[in-house]
Structure 1
Amino acid sequence: MAEETGEIALSKQDLREVTAYAAACAETVLDLFEADQPDDPRPRDAIRTAWEFARGGERGKPLRDTAWAALKAVKDTDTAAAGEAARAAMAAAGAAYLHPLAKATQVKHILGAGAHAARAAELVAGDDPAVGAEHVRQAVRRATPAVVDVLRRFPAAPGGGGRVGALIRMLDTDLRI
């Protein structure tokens, strides 16, 4: 496990693997956002640009712009579940910006989309933690060995962050086993 100082070696391929994982997690709840805001393409655009980078595209302005736009879409939602789905999309595009810093906070770039997606699923199911736990299990199965390898280079996920933080820590613990 990495310490809280120094840098971690990250290749462009590592970033692509993490971004693909985050995009796949975010896609699982995109329909929750689109049911709430059918005419708002911002979260879908964020996931699309995440996939473009993951499949060989450049890491640049479109990723940043669509991530910020997805975050702005949160305020336009009518339900908390839709807001969490938009946050998952934002986290998918933001995953490409995982920093090579040996800090626990960087784990959010790897697992944030999965945790926000799990929270969205919980909320749409009446705040049922069993639904969130099932989404975490699915996210664990979705993780490739390359994603787990990158995760293990970082310290364990930090405390705090409310329910989404707890879901990040669940994912983190389960992926490090």
Structure 2
Amino acid sequence: MTAAGDNPTIDLDTAELRAIAAYAVACAGPALIVFDRARPGDRRPHEAIEAARAFAEGARRTKVIRDSAWAAQRAFHDTRDAGQPAAGEAARAAVAAAGAAFLHPLAKATQVWHILGAAAHTARAFELDAGDDSAVGADHIERAEALAEPTVVSVLTRYPNAPSGRGRTGELLRTLDATLRLRAADRSTGIGSST
């Protein structure tokens, strides 16, 4: 970590940003089922995830990603206005997937949302879709933990712990954050190693 004025910065390379985006896409994709059931034919969240996937697979990081994220955000507003909270969280997962491509190298806790937000919003979407069943959300957080490749965990641990707030979705994010950090700590000390 190096200092840049009052804001410490974190070294990130393009391969790491692509890994973060790929993880966010993998986490957000399943939530499209929830969105599509409520709003068939609305492609905005799909397009945000596709733009993030293209970046993860080697395309340049362009305005298309931002524009698709804003469109998915408008889809979230539409679901909110229509009283469709599960679909809204699914749309927010797509926004987070696109936003992952813009993880900032600033050592701020809020940046953890760029890394883990898609997973947290997806977990909350499925939780709400199941009648606000917290066990369903916990199950999806476990799946997100299993999807996190070593590069994702390495990048995450360079940032401060996840911030407080943001209701139940924030709780899900902090659970995933803590689990991944514990996994990293266990690996660095050799706990749980099969060797």
Q: Same fold (TM over 0.5)?
A: yes
| Aligned mate of 1:134, from 135, 139, 150 | 139
Q: Which residue of 1 aligns with 2:193?
A: none
Percent identical among aligned pairs is 57
Give, in whole Å, the separation in 2 of the partners of 1:131 and 1:5: 38
Secondary structure of 1:127's counterpart equals coil
Give, in whole Å, the separation in 2 of the partners of 1:11 and 1:107: 17
* Paired residue type of 1:143: A
User: Any conservation in 2 of the 1:2–1:102 contact (CA below 8 Å)?
Assistant: no
Give, in whole Å, the separation in 2 of the partners of 1:21 and 1:30: 15
Q: Which residue of 2 aligns with 1:53?
A: 55
Superposition pairs of residues 3-152 of structure 1, within 5 angstroms: 5-77=7-79, 78=82, 79-152=84-157
Give, in whole Å, the separation in 1 of the partners of 2:52 and 2:77: 21
Q: Which residue of 1 aligns with 2:169?
A: 164
Give, in whole Å, the separation in 1 of the partners of 2:131 and 2:2: 38
> Aligned-residue CA RMSD in angstroms?
1.6
User: Any conservation in 1 of the 2:2–2:9 contact (CA below 8 Å)?
Assistant: no
Structure 2, unaligned runs of 5 or more: 183-195
Q: Deviations over 1:127-166 (max 9, x none)?
A: 0111100000000000100000000000000111111111
Give, in whole Å, the separation in 2 of the partners of 1:83 and 1:154: 28
User: Any conservation in 2 of the 1:2–1:154 contact (CA below 8 Å)?
Assistant: no
TM-score, reference length from structure 1:
0.96
Give, in whole Å, the separation in 2 of the partners of 1:85 and 1:102: 27
Q: Which residue of 1 aligns with 2:187?
A: none
The answer to which structure, 1 or 2, has the higher relative contact order (CA under 8 A, 6+ apart) is 1
Shift of 1:75: 2.1
Aligned length: 177
* Paired residue type of 2:59: G
Shift of 1:60: 1.1
Give, in whole Å, the separation in 1 of the partners of 2:132 and 2:85: 10
